[in-house]
């Protein structure tokens, strides 16, 4: 691991749910909740005509079908949110859950760091948003350990405004954040370990020397004969590291229980 840089997706990989999809399902359009339920009556907003005419799920389908890139998709989707309060944002963050074994994974990385006597190279690369990522990491007390590359969200008078500081003109996926560009810039001469779950990870997966994949990313890898290690939770990743490097690290298997 001393010659490996670790890159990890956030939504649906570190978190149990995709935070952006879940956020939009709650706040973007009352008639199209992901969970099939109705909008909470206490939410102080009403879906605007714009939201009704530009349903966020329809926009999502245009992205999935390759008609638009994620930058355009996310910009249009957040325009569907008519109003949101700071209290609602805080409550949403409070209910974001991470993978039950992600903290074990961080512990293993810290062991590598101590062994090598230098900072472990671990980055979150996400086509999601810094507001969700940074506040979730702070909630679990690990923000200072992790470098994050993502899109940005700004709150202004009840509106959510996305921006894309890592957008690359010419990106063939027209992504909000070009993961390939970030990885190429940071990997240097080191091998790449990548962890992901979905469509935004497909391009980056092609740069990985060791690829952990689940859900639609794993399906894509199967269909395209891309070498990968399937995982369901970070427990699977921790066990892989333990089995391959446990003796060297003096990692006890009990930490994975």
pTM of the model: 0.85
pLDDT of res. 129: 97
Largest Cα–Cα separation, the chain: 61
Among residues 48, 72, 94, the one where a domain terminates is 94
Residues 175 and 212 in one domain: yes
Residues 198 and 242 in one domain: yes
160 domain-assigned: no
pLDDT of res. 1: 58
What is the C-alpha to C-alpha distance for residues 111 and 143, in angstroms, rounded to an integer? 18
pLDDT of res. 41: 36
pLDDT of res. 34: 43
158 domain-assigned: no
Q: Are 123 and 204 in contact (CB under 8 A)?
A: no
pLDDT tens per residue across span 75-112:
999 999 989 999 999 999 999 999 999 999 999 888 77
Residues 142 and 76 in one domain: no
pLDDT of res. 250: 52
In the predicted model, what is the mean pLDDT of the chain?
85
128 domain-assigned: yes
pLDDT tens per residue across span 209-229:
999 999 999 999 999 999 999
pLDDT of res. 105: 95
Residues 142 and 207 in one domain: yes
Q: Are 210 and 229 in contact (CB under 8 A)?
A: yes
Among residues 77, 94, 111, the one where a domain terminates is 94
**Model confidence band, residue 242 (pLDDT cutoffs 50, 70, 90):** confident
Of 22-26, 35-39, 175-179, minimum mean pLDDT range: 35-39
The average pLDDT across 10-39 equals: 77
β-strand pairing of 159-163 with 122-129: unpaired
Among residues 50, 79, 94, the one where a domain terminates is 94
157 domain-assigned: no
Q: Are 178 and 171 in contact (CB under 8 A)?
A: yes
The average pLDDT across 8-22 equals: 97
Considering only CA atoms, which of 146, 111, 154 is closest in space to residue 241?
Answer: 111
Residues 33 and 122 in one domain: no
Number of folded domains in the chain? 2
Residues 183 and 69 in one domain: no
pLDDT for 251 beyond 60: no
Domain span including residue 23: 19-94
Question: What is the three-class DSSP state of 157?
Answer: coil
With the C-alpha atoms ordered 87, 90, 96, 97, is the resulting torsion angle positive or negative?
A: negative
Residues in the chain: 257
CATH code for the domain of 225 = 3.40.50.1000
Residues 71 and 183 in one domain: no
Only one residue has tokens 């391959």, namely 244
């Amino acid at each position: 691991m001393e010659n490996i840089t670790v890159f990890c997706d956030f939504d649906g990989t570190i978190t149990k749910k995709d935070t952006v999809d879940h956020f939009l399902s709650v706040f973007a359009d009352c008639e199209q909740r992901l969970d099939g339920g109705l909008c909470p009556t206490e939410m102080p907003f009403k879906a605007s005509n714009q939201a009704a005419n530009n349903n966020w799920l329809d926009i999502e389908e245009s992205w999935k079908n390759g008609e638009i890139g994620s930058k355009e998709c996310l910009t249009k989707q957040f325009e569907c949110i008519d109003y949101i309060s700071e209290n609602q944002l805080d409550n949403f963050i409070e209910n974001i859950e991470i993978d039950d074994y992600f903290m074990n994974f961080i512990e293993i990385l810290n062991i590598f760091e101590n062994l090598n006597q230098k900072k472990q190279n671990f980055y979150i690369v996400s086509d999601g948003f810094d507001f969700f990522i940074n506040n979730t990491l702070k909630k679990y007390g690990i923000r200072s350990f992790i470098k994050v590359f993502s899109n940005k969200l700004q709150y202004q008078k009840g509106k959510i405004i996305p921006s894309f500081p890592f957008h690359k003109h010419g990106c063939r996926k027209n992504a909000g954040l070009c993961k390939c560009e970030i990885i190429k810039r940071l990997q240097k001469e080191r091998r790449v370990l990548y962890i992901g779950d979905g469509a935004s990870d497909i391009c980056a997966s092609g740069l990985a020397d060791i690829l952990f994949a689940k859900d639609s990313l794993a399906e894509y890898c199967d269909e395209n004969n891309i070498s990968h290690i399937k995982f369901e939770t970070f427990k699977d990743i921790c066990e892989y590291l333990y089995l391959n490097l446990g003796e060297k690290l003096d990692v006890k298997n009990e930490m994975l229980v």
